[in-house]
Chains A and B, each alone.
Chain A
Amino acid sequence: MANVKLSGVWKYYSEEAAAVQDVKLSIDSGEFIVLVGPSGCGKSTTLRMIAGLESISKGEIEINGKVVNNVQPKDRDIAMVFQNYALYPHMTVEKNIGFALKISGMDKNEIKRRVLNTSSILGLDDLLRRKPGALSGGQRQRVALGRAIARDPAVYLFDEPLSNLDAKLRVTMRSELKALHRRLGTTTVYVTHDQEEAMTLGSRLVVMAGGKVQQIGTPLDVYNNPVNRFVASFVGSPTMNFIEGTIEGETFSPENSAVKIPLTAQIIDANALQSGQKLCLGIRPQSVTLAGDATPGIELDTTVELTEPMGDRVDLRLGLDESTQILARMPMNEVPANGASLRVKLPHEGMMFFEATEFGKRLGREPVAST
């Protein structure tokens, strides 16, 4: 087990653009850290720098207090699981799992013992004599895991290990991974572009975009207190509603729309909003409720434009007017008809305000110190 520390890490593939910019991250021993972000944001590059497969352009990476910038991958005491498994195609499952042990010069019986132990943890006992070509995707994934586990490394590195599996298997493997981590307690750095996978697996998330770290925090922290509009939109499903507009006195006027959303002095105050300010109102679909209960909020008349019932809940696209729509996710026994009018409430608690740009800062919050 080990801690991992990245101090101001940069990666340039070419001189003009940095794929990874100034990443600072301190991972405690035993943590399950998830790097999450859209495609091309630099997650894999960061992971590969920790693995030693990619050189570090600037900054330092430490594993267990030792700077590893110039240490070979094999001497970093890490194991990596690749997206396409990278199993050795001509070796049996048994040989695949034992390959690293064999290279390390371990005694034959000890290798056998470890391979069997690993295969029983992962339920691979019946497959040991097979070659990867004769395995299903899920089984290959398990073998790739086994190869990492058998070595008992200080750190596990995962690069989108579940993304080649079908949706159902992905969910199963997700909980297996979680259980495995609980059992082994090994420091883990996990890369995914799937925010749901990130939320369910990570003890902390590192949300990245454009090569930069946007926010580091526990899943709930990131969900409830996104530091900017990007994080707010990336984390959570369905995506948060954003309405751009202007503050006029105590009302919020969405752009190109006659609708006025009345705010309270308290909200104006709490979020440090200023009259005339252009900004972006954000509210999660799950926060929107039916009007009528006692929670403080703003009630609005809307028209139901689209319904997507899912049995236990329904997703509604609601029009405030022709140009402004919001999505609401509600528990509902009776699905309203298209075109019906519906009075809904935007609870004060669920409202967030951002500067009106893609990476616009969250307003009215002290920037959360992140390490």
Chain B
Amino acid sequence: MSTGSRVKPYLFLAPFLILFVVFTVVPLFQAVPLATHHTFGPDASTYVGFEKFAQAFSDARFWKALRNTLVFTAGSVFIQLPIALGLALMLNRKRVMGRGVFRLLFFSPQLVGLVFVAVLASVMFQKQKGLVNTAIAGGADMLRSIPLINANAWLPTTSELLNTPWLESLAMRTLIISALWMYAGFNMIYFLAALQNVPSELEEAAMIDGAGPVRRFFAVVLPSIRPVAVFVVLLSIIGSIQVFELAYIMLPEGVGMQDSGLTLVTYLFKNGFEIGDLGYATAIGWLIAVILSATAITQRLVNRQEAHA
């Protein structure tokens, strides 16, 4: 082999490698000393050892952000993904009218982009005139008009309903619902692709073997799409732990009232770019990195264990 052909592949890779080194590798190494410094803006800094990490562990706002982020992640995994799978199962049936239309509909948030969806959602969740509260109040009015159930006794008043503080105090719920809108269709496409790869004979064989629809799903379909499902869960967890834009755009001050929607990355951002404490922001970044790595490693361990079982 000539030297030329040995060097060539790296020449082709060079544009990517250079960008990767400059914008990812170098900052990553810089982040090691940065986390051990106290800074005021980019220039003034003093070495403080592991103080920034200690600060995080005794910082109530950090714990709040961590809890919120985990709540959001749980919402993605346990609410959003089952809904995405359900939609995929519905669209995967042979006779669904307008399958393509539904697919496009569920996928469309991806096409218009996160910022657009976030802005739209924040308008919808507003007090008084927001679509969500208006709809809830309207529904409540319908219940009130039904005799005998005495809806007035247990329903909040119309003005209370119209003032439901989605963006202010119920921020996590609002974020989970908005993320559902944003990402369920996207995850559905993964599930749908996996479902379409399950040979129909497999389900037919199970049908003849006497398995009903529920049994067929758990005994045949789910195991067949397991690799994709595991992948989607992992992506979803990693994405959720990094949630930022949605909260930052939708919530007042990016955090809601009394930090009700404060997430880890929002907290990192606030410390780094609003307060100017880059050292603390970097330390939080390292803690997020640890959580993400732990997730990925756990997933690999679980996978390996099951492969041997």
Binding site for B on A (CB under 8 A): 51-53, 72-74, 78-80, 82, 84, 86, 88-90, 99-100, 103-104, 147, 151
Please report the C-alpha to C-alpha distance between residue A176 and residue B199 in the assembled complex, in whole angstroms: 28
Cβ–Cβ contact A86 & B204, under 8 A: yes
Does B202 interact with chain A (Cβ within 8 Å)? yes
Binding site for A on B (CB under 8 A): 199, 201-202, 204-211, 215, 219-220, 223-224, 226
User: If the complex has contacts A88-B219, A88-B220, A90-B224, are A73 and B202 also in contact, measured as CB distance less than 8 A?
Assistant: no
Cβ–Cβ contact B210 & A88, under 8 A: no
Residues of chain B contacted by A79 (CB below 8 angstroms): 208
Cβ–Cβ contact A89 & B201, under 8 A: no
Cβ–Cβ contact A74 & B199, under 8 A: no
Q: What are 27 pairs between A and B in contact, CB < 8 Å?
A: A51-B208, A52-B208, A53-B208, A73-B207, A73-B208, A74-B207, A78-B208, A79-B208, A80-B205, A80-B208, A82-B201, A84-B201, A86-B204, A88-B205, A88-B206, A88-B220, A89-B223, A90-B224, A90-B226, A99-B206, A99-B211, A100-B208, A103-B209, A103-B215, A104-B210, A147-B205, A147-B209
Residues of chain A contacted by B209 (CB below 8 angstroms): 74, 99-100, 103, 147, 151
Residues of chain A contacted by B204 (CB below 8 angstroms): 53, 73, 80, 82, 86
Please report the C-alpha to C-alpha distance between residue A84 and residue B205 in the assembled complex, in whole angstroms: 11
Chain B contact residues: helix, strand, loop or mixed: helix
Cβ–Cβ contact B199 & A84, under 8 A: yes
Of all chain A residues, the one with the shortest Cβ separation from B209 is: A100
Of all chain A residues, the one with the shortest Cβ separation from B215 is: A103
Residues of chain B contacted by A90 (CB below 8 angstroms): 223-224, 226
Cβ–Cβ contact B226 & A53, under 8 A: no
B134, chain A: closest CB distance, angstroms: 47
Cβ–Cβ contact A86 & B207, under 8 A: no
Please report the C-alpha to C-alpha distance between residue A32 and residue B238 in the assembled complex, in whole angstroms: 58
Of all chain A residues, the one with the shortest Cβ separation from B203 is: A86
Of all chain B residues, the one with the shortest Cβ separation from A157 is: B208
Of all chain A residues, the one with the shortest Cβ separation from B223 is: A90
Residues of chain A contacted by B215 (CB below 8 angstroms): 103
Cβ–Cβ contact A86 & B226, under 8 A: no
Please report the C-alpha to C-alpha distance between residue A86 and residue B201 in the assembled complex, in whole angstroms: 6
Please report the C-alpha to C-alpha distance between residue A100 and residue B206 in the assembled complex, in whole angstroms: 8
Please report the C-alpha to C-alpha distance between residue A295 and residue B210 in the assembled complex, in whole angstroms: 60
Please report the C-alpha to C-alpha distance between residue A147 and residue B209 in the assembled complex, in whole angstroms: 9
B309, chain A: closest CB distance, angstroms: 11
Cβ–Cβ contact B199 & A86, under 8 A: yes
